[in-house]
A and B are shown apart, each in its own frame.
Chain A
Amino acid sequence: MVAEQTLPDIAFEGSADIQELAGRAFQLIRAQGMFASDYAAIRVQIDALASALDVSGDELTGAIEANPQVFALETGEEATWVASTRLGQAPRPNVPDTRHSFAERFMTPEPAPERPLRTEKPVPEVAAFTEVATAIEDAHEEEVEIETELRAEGFTFDADVSVELVTDGEVASIDKEDETRKPSRAAEPVEAPEPVAEAVPEVAEPAAEAVEAEPQAEPAVVPSDFSGLDDAAVAAAIAETLRSDSRVANFGDQWMAEDQVDRLSRGNLRSLADYINEQEQPLTDDVLVQDVLGVRRSAPNFENARFSMNFRLSSERNFEFLGTHNQPFWGTTDLPSIGTTRRKATDIGTDYRYLVDEVPVGSVAPRSVRSVEHTVSFYEFTYGLLPLDASMQALLPAPVMPDQRSAVLMVEIPQFENSVYLVEVRYPTHNRGGFLLGLDDFYEEKLVPGALISIEATDNDGQYKIEYLEDDERQDRFLELDDRRSPKYVFRPLSYDTAVNEEWLVTESRFPRLGNEKPLPDKQRRHLEQVVEQVFQRIGEDDGGSLIAAFTDLLVAINVERPASEALLRATIEAMPSVSDDGSGILTYDQSA
């Protein structure tokens, strides 16, 4: 149903009669095409229209022609038609525009752009800045004048270089600039000042000759004489100098010309990382070169391939060198960490901070002893550690690389089912002490706090042995750190059959009041004085208001909380006015002091 019918607002042209006639003609045409769409052409024969409007054909034709924006006259073979649309616009041909289409655009290739055939690159023209060139020339001339004048006055300069050239008559390895200048000085007599005007051409000629003769002027290399120097001193000088030379590749104690070192592709690096991660442990360079890079040990390029891999990996961020000289392990940053998860390695390093002062860098010769005897303290037992103190530093190798953070050692324990442990050495830094971690399983399975062990070096600086003395089986109640929920110390029965240092046993009969104590907060543990005070409260016996404890007991009980050496504890209590030592090994803690 048509709810509303609106007529288009049309302004007809012509006189009032023509406008009125055109309007009526339009209404009739519109009525004829009442079901036509807005833009469809509605055609009516002009004779029929004139008849319906009761006007002559000429009158109607005049009105139609006066309004070409509304009507169109179409002349056919038999009749003439007046056409318009319901919107009052002259009909336009409704032909699809196929001049452009997407299909055509996609299917028709774009014509090649017109461009000239490739020609030789034009030689860039060097812009000649005559002003600058003149200024440089002037500066040179001025320099020569000044030099000449100074020589005339008996003044010598740059003597170290020019004298060598004059006296030795040898060509030294000098750079191009110097080459252009030195012959001129050599040719110029020092005592004979010459007029400035003559000095200038003298300078220019040898300079030109020197530049032209450059290809043949390869300097003869004459190294210094090191005959009076120790091999170690020369080696140190070589290492120090070549490490900063980009033409030389260095890994550990080995050197190679950088341009002869093989490169590793991204694919090689990915395969190496994947292989290490699959094995879930660090692998030696030998294994990696053979298994991943496919170079056999007997191949002539094996040594080069191994050095190249080591050198290239040393600059890769996701690889870490964890080896020693004899056992060059490579790990990745994705490998699981070795050792305890009960305490962070950085916190353990902070606990051992005192070792940084006790064992200054360079004070101990690495690998200078063959074996070390050690008593495992409660702290070491709990976290599966060994301290990197002076004796352990004398046993273990130094880091291979200057910035090496840690090394992984293989520790064999023949008495304990021939087991082999991967133990990580954390080398000391400027504010953290060094230590070894990864022995927690062995300690827990076989030892008790206070056990005596012997760590022995082998010929391979990455492999060690741990041994212990076997003894009759005994039982006792030993202290343990129960950190499953709220951490606290508890006593539990343990049986053991290894030799122990009785002084270092932390048993219930010796320290009964340690049971159910909570570990001190880290903030307090860092200050040994505060730990001493707390430990006196835990183990000291009341002696008329003061607390007394044997030095050994205090040392052992302090090592429950944190590591501390005997020397450190002695130095600490000496500085504490509240603690006094009567010389018999019994310490008194005066709480009121």
Chain B
Amino acid sequence: MANETRTPELNSEDIAALIEALRQHGRPMSTSELVAALRAAASR
């Protein structure tokens, strides 16, 4: 089944996970890296 293409809304937990990922990385991250980080955080 094809993935959905609608733009989801991020909740406060998602944003916190993204900011945490940025802080831990300590260097600039691309949007695709952030997508991967968010997916990884969700799977944990």
Interface residue ranges, A against B (CB under 8 Å): 173, 221-242, 245, 247-248, 251, 253-257, 260, 303-304, 307
Contacts and interface: CB of A to CB of B under 8 A. Distances in A.
A224 B15 CA distance: 10
Contacts of B9: 237, 241
A242 B18 contact: yes
Nearest to B19: A247
B8 A224 contact: yes
Which 6 pairs, one residue from A and one from B, show the smallest C-beta to C-beta distance? A307-B28, A254-B28, A230-B3, A257-B22, A223-B17, A223-B14
Contact of B31 (A226, A239, A256, A303): A239
A251 B31 CA distance: 11
Interface of B: 3-20, 22-23, 26-32, 34-35, 38-39, 41-42
Contacts of A228: 3-4
A222 B28 CA distance: 23
The binding surface of chain A is classed by DSSP as: mixed
12 contacts: A221-B41, A223-B41, A223-B42, A224-B8, A224-B14, A225-B42, A231-B35, A233-B6, A233-B8, A234-B8, A234-B38, A253-B31
Contact of A256 (B12, B28, B38, B42): B28
B34 A238 contact: yes
A245 B22 CA distance: 13
- The residue in A173, A230, A255, A304 that gathers the most chain B C-beta atoms within 10 A of its C-beta is A255
Contacts of A221: 13, 16-17, 20, 41
- The residue in A225, A233, A238, A303 that gathers the most chain B C-beta atoms within 10 A of its C-beta is A238
Nearest to A174: B12
Given A256-B28, A257-B22, A238 B35 contact: yes
Contacts of A242: 15, 18, 34
Nearest to B9: A237
Contacts of B20: 221
Contact of A241 (B4, B15, B29): B15
A240 B38 contact: no
Given A235-B31, A236-B7, A256-B22, 10 more contacts: A223-B11, A229-B3, A231-B32, A237-B7, A241-B10, A247-B19, A248-B18, A253-B31, A254-B28, A254-B29
- The residue in B3, B9, B42 that gathers the most chain A C-beta atoms within 10 A of its C-beta is B3
A503 to B, nearest CB: 44
A221 B23 CA distance: 15
Nearest to B22: A257
Contacts of A239: 31
A221 B13 CA distance: 5
Given A221-B16, A225-B42, A238-B10, A230 B31 contact: no
B42 A253 contact: no
Contact of A229 (B4, B19, B22): B4
A237 B9 CA distance: 6
A248 B32 contact: no
A305 to B, nearest CB: 11
Nearest to B40: A223
A222 B9 CA distance: 15
Contacts of A222: 13
